[in-house]
Structures are given as structure tokens and as C-alpha cells.
Amino acid sequence: MKLSRFARLACLLVAGMLLAACQHEAATPWQLTDISGHMPDLAFQLTDDQGKTVTATDYQGKVALLYFGYTHCPDVCPLTLAHLHVVMQRLGKVADGAQILFVSVDPARDTPAALHAYATAFDPHVIGLTGSPADIEALTKRYRAAFSREPGKEGGSYDVSHSSGIYIFDAHGKARLLATPTDSQDKLVHDLHLLLSPGGAT
Amino acid sequence: MKRYLLWLGLTALLAPAVQATQADQIKASHAWIRLLPADLPAGGYVTLDNQGSSAATLVSVHSAAYASAMLHQSTTDPAGNSDMHMLDRLIVPAHGQVSLAPAGYHLMLQQATHALKPGDTVDITLDFADGSHQRVPFQVRPANATD
Ligand SMILES: [Cu+2]
């Protein structure tokens, strides 16, 4: 008798813990890494792939996906952009509320024209951005996305080591999520859908 | 006639003892190139199956379609910084498989000798450590192709 009462109490306790776990789950609907409050708002002054000077406010009202790369990167950058292309396709119509900002960390070679050809080869939502080395460095530092130029090789070619994360900002320019290249397309589709739905972002 | 028969018999006897070349042991599949605009370097990918009982070592690649073709590897450190470097060799273990796939091993293909478009096929020759070669047809795919 005593034992059964104890068992009932234990059951209640476990049920209570499970409920708490569920409620905790509901409080964080994100599948990617939540960086709200840990990274500064989107801010920059760069040149877009049409040669126009742009700032972060030009993209206000859109969910922005910030990614650092360079066009002479034949492996990792195209893989990330090809994945984002599939994600945009899966999002369908709501994808039009998103903008992928591909910021070059190799401004010496990445002219607006070169970036335009590169960006459009992947997805219509991709915009290439370049600028002065100082402005680009300031932006990478703002998001702690280190990059460095590797020692030169013969023929003047070189590689650039760069951060592979995708920083996601809501329509108000607030940093919200961080995706890594190993995060699945499913996670990106899930979280972007939430961020892009009316009321879901706030 | 008698000598000829003897010679035939000898070669038949010797044949099984002749080692297959490394190139003979390798079955290449899923070979493709991610084409980027404006003659930017392109990545080449292929799956190599070694059906032999000894390792095969890929030491270089070459193609009439590119002035420069190299073996490369992309790596990402725990901090999330990615990087690529050249490889001197790539070993395919006996009865093993090595995949050249996005964000890992790849062929770095530079300076196309003529304009390419998706749907084209480009022959790339794999050079092995024992001096043997295998010519593999690679499918040219658009920039936003996924593996
Ligand atoms: Cu490479």
C-alpha cells in the first residue's frame, strides 16, 4: 500500500517533468542555433553586384541570409549556395521575402560584374556584395567571421580561408539564427518558414 | 610451330601472375563537374572503387579541357573556417572506396581550354603511382547542382 502510493507519486513527478520539458521545447521553436541578442543588428555599407552603393537598410523588410565567400572558391561556397537554392525552391512563394547576401572576402578579384554572374548562376534571391577591404573586414569582425588570405601560389592565384556560417536576420535587421554547412536543408526550411510567416518573426 | 605452341603455353602460364595495374583496379562512377561562370575554377567530383587486393594511389589528374587540374581537399576547422589545400596523392585502399564529393576531396579545374556548358562531357585522366592511367568522362553540371 505504501509502495503503491510512492509509485503514484513518482509517476506524477515524472509526468510533471515531461510536461515541463514539453513547455520548454515550445518556448524555442528554432532548429538552427538561436543567436538573438548575441550578435549585433545587420549594418554595412558595400557595393552590390550592379555597382550600386548599398547599406543594410536597403534590405529592411526582408529576411536576410548573410554568407561570406569568394568566387574563386569552387567547392565549399558553391555547395552552400546550391543548398540555399534548394531551400528557396522548397520555401516556394514565401522565399520572395528572403534575400541571400553573398559578401565577397576577396574584393581584389570580385568585381560587381564577376559577382553578378556568380550570384545569378545559383538563385535569383542571391545578391553579391563587395567593397573596400576595410569595409569588408569591419563586417566580418562584426560577426566574428574571421578570414585570411592564404600564402600565394605560382601564377598569382591564391585561396582565401573564410567562415562558413550563414547568419540569418529578421525583417527588422535583428540577428536571429546561425546555420552551419552541416545543418540540414530541413532545418533551414523549417526556421525560415517560421521567420517568413506573418507574425512568426516577432 | 612447336616453338610457337611452347610460347603460347608459357604466356598462358604467366598471365595470371601479371599484376593488374592500379588503373585497372579502379572503377570510377558519379563523375561530374560543377560549372561556374566566367572561367572561374570549377570543382570536379568522382567516386573511386578499388576492386583490387592492393591499394591504388592517385598522384595527379590531367585533361585537355583544362590548362590546370589539381587534387584538392577542403577542410573546415571546429571554429567553422573553411579552407582548401593541394594533395600530393590520394590513396584508395584495397577493396575500399574514396569519394571526391563537395566540401571534401575534389579536383580543382582551372583555365578551361574551350567554353563549356551544362550537359557537356569532359574527359579527365586519372594518373596512378605505378604509371597507369584511366580516362574518365565527367558530366558538366550547372553551378547550383546538388550532389
Ligand atoms: Cu580546391
Tens digit of each residue's pLDDT (9 = 90 or more) over A136-160: 999 998 888 766 666 555 455 677 7
Choose among B83, B109, B146: nearest Cβ to A82: B146
Smallest Cβ distance to B144: which of A81, A114, A165?
A81
When CB atoms are compared, the residue of A72, A147, A163 closest to B40 is A72
Q: DSSP label at A173? A: S
- pLDDT < 50 positions in chain B: 9-10, 13, 16-17
Which one of B36, B105, B140, B141 would you mutate to disrupt binding with A, by most A Cβ within 10 Å of its Cβ? Answer: B36
- Strands B133-141 and B26-34 come out as parallel
Task: Please tell me whether residues A81 and A145 are part of one structural domain.
Answer: yes
- The answer to whether the CB atoms of A121 and B143 lie below 8 A apart is yes
* Residue B118: φ, ψ to 5°: -55, 140
What is the reported pLDDT for A4?
52
In a domain, A81, yes or no: yes
Residues A110, A52: Cα–Cα separation, whole Å: 15
What confidence tens digit (pLDDT) does each residue in B33-71 have? 999 999 999 999 999 999 999 999 999 999 999 999 999
Same-domain check for residues A24 and A60: no
In the block, residue with C-alpha cell 587486393? B53
Same domain, A8 and A25: yes
Residue at A92 is within a domain: yes
Residue A145, in any domain of the structure: yes
Q: What is residue A153's predicted lDDT score, i.e. its pLDDT?
A: 53
pLDDT in tens, A171-187: 999 999 999 878 899 99
Distance between CA atoms of residues A191 and A170, nearest Å = 11
Question: Residue A36: pLDDT above 70?
Answer: yes
Q: Determine, yes or no, domain membership for A86.
A: yes
Strands A98-104 and A63-69, by their bridges, are parallel
SS3 B25: helix
Q: Same domain for A90 and A10?
A: no
The answer to whether A147 faces chain B, any CB pair under 8 Å, is yes
Q: How confident is the model at residue A197 (pLDDT cuts 50, 70, 90)?
A: confident
- A202 assigned to some structural domain: no
Residue A7 has pLDDT above 70, yes or no: no
Q: Chain A partners of B145 at a C-beta cutoff of 8 Å?
A: 82
Say if residue A170's pLDDT is above 70.
yes
Predicted pLDDT of residue A3: 45
A149 C-alpha vs ligand 1 centroid, how far in Å?
Answer: 14
Q: Do B43 and A159 touch (CB under 8 A)?
A: no
User: With the C-alpha atoms ordered A112, A118, A123, A129, is the resulting torsion angle positive or negative?
Assistant: negative
Nearest to B110 by CA among A69, A180, A202, A72: A72
Looking at the fold, whether A69 and A125 belong to one and the same domain comes out as: yes
Sequence-distant (≥ 6) Cβ neighbours of residue B77 within 8 angstroms: B83
Q: Are residues A53 and A5 in the same domain?
A: no
Put simply, the answer to whether B82 touches A122 (Cβ < 8 Å) is no
Q: Is B86 helix (H, G, I), strand (E, B) or coil?
A: strand
Mutation for A interface: B32, B66, B82, most A CBs within 10 A: B82
* Residue A52 resides in a domain: yes
Q: What is the ipTM of this complex?
A: 0.83
Look at residue A64 and tell me if it is in a domain: yes
Measured distance CA(A34)–CA(A161) in Å, rounded: 25
- Going along chain B from its start, the domains and CATH numbers come out as 22-141 (2.60.40.1890)
Ligand 1 ion: residues within 5 Å (CB): B 72, 84, 108
Mark yes or no for CB contact A76/B84 under 8 Å. yes
Distance from the Cα of A90 to chain B's closest Cα (Å) equals 14
Diameter over CA atoms, chain B: 74
User: Do the beta carbons of residue B124 and residue B110 sit within 8 Å?
Assistant: no
Q: Do A105 and A173 have their domain in common?
A: yes
Contacts with A91 (C-beta within 8 Å, 6 or more apart), sequence order: A98, A189, A192, A193, A196
Q: Is the pLDDT reported for residue A53 higher than 70?
A: yes
> Which of A36-45, A46-55, A84-93, A144-153 bottoms out in mean pLDDT, i.e. has the lowest?
A144-153
Q: How many CA atoms lie within 13 A of A82 on its CB side?
A: 18
Based on the domain organization, do A109 and A20 belong to the same domain?
A: no
The answer, for B78 touching chain A at a CB cutoff of 8 Å, is no
Cell triple for A12: 506524477
User: In terms of residue numbers, what domain contains A188?
Assistant: 31-196
Q: Alpha-carbon distance A68 to A74, whole Å?
A: 14
Q: Is A164 on the interface with B (CB under 8 A)?
A: yes
Q: Do A162 and B75 contact (CB within 8 A), yes or no?
A: no
A201 assigned to some structural domain: no
Q: Which residue has the cell 584495397?
A: B94
CA of B32 to the centre of ligand 1 (A): 15
How many separate domains does chain A show? 2
Pair (A49, A81) in one structural domain:
yes
Per-residue pLDDT, averaged over A62-80, amounts to: 94
Angle at the Cα of A11 from the Cα atoms of A8 and A14, rounded to 5 degrees: 155
**Does residue A21 carry a pLDDT above 50?**
no
Cβ contact (<8 Å) for A164 and B34?
Answer: no
Give the C-alpha separation, A85 to A79, whole Å.
10
**Contact of B37 with B143, CB cutoff 8 Å:** yes
A65 and A130 inside one domain: yes
Mutate to test the interface with A, among B68, B81, B85, B141 (most CBs of A within 10 A): B81
One-letter amino acid identity for A30? W
> Do A65 and A154 share a domain, yes or no?
yes
Do A109 and A177 belong together in one domain?
Answer: yes
pLDDT of A30 over the 50 cut: yes
Compare all CA atoms of chain B with the CA of A159 and give the residue at the minimum distance.
B84
C-alpha B57/C-alpha A194 separation (Å) is 49
Q: What is the pTM of this model?
A: 0.83
| CATH code assigned at A65 | 3.40.30.10
Specify the pLDDT at position A104: 95
